[in-house]
């Protein structure tokens, strides 16, 4: 076996390592030249952070998604969400075709709306356009992950009072375009009394019971989906007293 084959074999063994210390020890044992820090990071996680949030997640300063939500900086790297929320479920909300007329004729494109959530207090909705359906769906899923939001849950129905995290804690309103969505707490067992789009998004957020009232042209699936997301996001903006938090069992984010 030549020295080149030995070097390739040793590098292959390094890439299979689980943590940074093991990689450094292996590098010293086989006598490979010292690599830069970014190359070691790339071998360990397969991505190189380019933003402040990415660097903090990679270094371990941010350990979970709840800590990430405390930062005001926008999320620009999808690897951050993949690392902190690996159990996200994906759902295609709507796939349509749009066209525009140019000098050379009509141009057809796909328009896709998707939603992602862990069914435990986190939800995101994204939309994308493209020439092919497959890449457009993946692009929409990526945008949904970058648009992840935390949701407050509880038992806000006066008919129930069980204290479990099965509904919204109070009535909230969301708006997008001409569409208004009103989410009201429902007793346990009532289910999601809503249309298909709202039902999918609420289920991904971890809400099992809710009354949904809508106004406007709800056949516009994009606006309808983002109106539901806006309503769920508004649960975080409501100021609640400590006494009410205990009585309604309100929890923000994942449990």
Same domain (yes/no): 168, 242: yes
- Please compute, for residue 80, the number of CA atoms within 13 A of its CA located in the half-sphere on the CB side: 27
Q: How far apart are CA 209 and CA 240, in angstroms?
A: 21
Same domain (yes/no): 145, 156: no
Mean pLDDT of 11-20: 46
Number of domains in the chain: 3
* CA proximity to 250, closest of 188, 178, 163: 163
What is the 8-class DSSP label of residue 167? Answer: B
Q: Tell me the per-residue pLDDT of 192-235, one tens digit each, with 9 for 90 and over.
A: 999 899 999 999 999 999 999 999 998 899 999 999 999 999 99
Q: What is the mean pLDDT of the chain?
A: 81
Query: In sequence order, what DSSP letters do the residues of 54-102 get, joined into one string?
Result: HHHHHHTSS-SHHHHTT--SPP--HHHHHHH-TT-EEEEEEEEEEEEEE
Q: What is the CATH number of the domain that holds 200?
A: 3.30.230.10
Token readout for 223 is 């606006």
pLDDT at 63 over 90: no
Token readout for 100 is 């525009």
Residue 15 confidence (pLDDT): 44
Residue 13 confidence (pLDDT): 46
Residue that is last in its domain, among 84, 110, 132: 84
Residue 5 confidence (pLDDT): 52
Residue 208 domain boundaries: 152-252
pLDDT at 58 over 80: yes
Residue that is last in its domain, among 51, 66, 84: 84
Residue 242 confidence (pLDDT): 82
pLDDT at 252 over 90: no
pLDDT at 84 over 90: no
Mean pLDDT of 235-255: 80
Same domain (yes/no): 78, 103: no
What is the 8-class DSSP label of residue 200? Answer: H
Q: How far apart are CA 65 and CA 150, in angstroms?
A: 9
Same domain (yes/no): 68, 23: yes
Q: What is the CATH number of the domain that holds 116?
A: 3.30.160.20
Beta-carbon contacts of 145 under 8 Å, excluding residues fewer than 6 positions away, are 78, 81, 82, 85, 88, 116, 124, 126
Q: Tell me the per-residue pLDDT of 117-127, one tens digit each, with 9 for 90 and over.
A: 999 889 999 99
Q: What percent of the chain has pLDDT over 90?
A: 40
Q: Tell me the per-residue pLDDT of 137-152, one tens digit each, with 9 for 90 and over.
A: 999 999 999 999 999 9
Residue 10 confidence (pLDDT): 47
Q: Which of 80-94, 101-115, 155-169 has the lowest mean pLDDT?
A: 155-169
* CA proximity to 126, closest of 149, 109, 108: 149
Same domain (yes/no): 171, 238: yes
Same domain (yes/no): 159, 244: yes
What is the 8-class DSSP label of residue 180? Answer: E
Looking only at the bridges linking them, the beta strands covering 192-193 and 89-102 are: unpaired
Same domain (yes/no): 197, 117: no
Q: What angle do CA 82, 113, 121 make, to 5 degrees?
A: 50
Q: The pTM is what?
A: 0.77
Beta-carbon contacts of 160 under 8 Å, excluding residues fewer than 6 positions away, are 167, 185, 186, 187, 188
Residue 6 confidence (pLDDT): 47
Same domain (yes/no): 220, 182: yes
3-state secondary structure of 141: helix
Same domain (yes/no): 134, 175: no
Beta-carbon contacts of 14 under 8 Å, excluding residues fewer than 6 positions away, are 23, 26, 27, 30, 32, 43
Mean pLDDT of 49-77: 87
Same domain (yes/no): 80, 93: no
Same domain (yes/no): 105, 37: no
Residue that is last in its domain, among 84, 105, 133: 84
Same domain (yes/no): 218, 141: no
pLDDT at 27 over 60: no
CB 122 within 8 A of CB 151: yes
pLDDT at 185 over 50: yes
Token readout for 90 is 């994906």
């Amino acid at each position: 076996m030549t020295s080149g084959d030995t070097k390739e074999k040793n590098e292959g063994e390094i890439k299979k390592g689980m943590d940074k210390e093991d990689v450094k020890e292996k590098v010293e044992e086989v006598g490979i030249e010292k690599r830069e820090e970014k190359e070691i990071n790339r071998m360990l996680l397969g991505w190189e952070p380019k933003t402040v949030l990415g660097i903090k997640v990679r270094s371990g300063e941010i350990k979970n998604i709840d800590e990430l939500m405390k930062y005001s900086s926008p999320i620009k790297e999808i690897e951050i969400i993949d690392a902190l929320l690996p159990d996200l479920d994906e759902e295609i909300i709507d796939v349509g075709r749009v066209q525009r007329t140019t000098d050379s004729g009509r141009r057809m494109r796909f328009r896709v709306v998707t939603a992602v959530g862990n069914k435990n207090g986190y939800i995101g909705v994204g939309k994308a356009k493209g020439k092919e359906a497959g890449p457009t769906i993946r692009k929409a899923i990526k945008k949904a992950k970058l648009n992840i939001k935390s949701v407050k849950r509880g038992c806000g129905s006066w008919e129930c009072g069980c204290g479990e995290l099965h509904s919204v804690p109070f009535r909230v309103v969301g708006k997008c375009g001409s569409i208004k969505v009103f989410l009201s707490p429902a007793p346990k067992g009532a289910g999601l009394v809503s249309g298909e789009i709202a039902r999918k998004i609420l289920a991904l957020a971890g809400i099992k019971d809710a009354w949904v009232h809508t106004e406007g042209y709800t056949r516009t699936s994009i606006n309808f989906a983002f109106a539901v997301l806006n309503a769920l996001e508004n649960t975080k903006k409501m100021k609640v007293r400590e006494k009410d938090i205990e009585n309604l069992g309100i929890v923000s984010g994942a449990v």
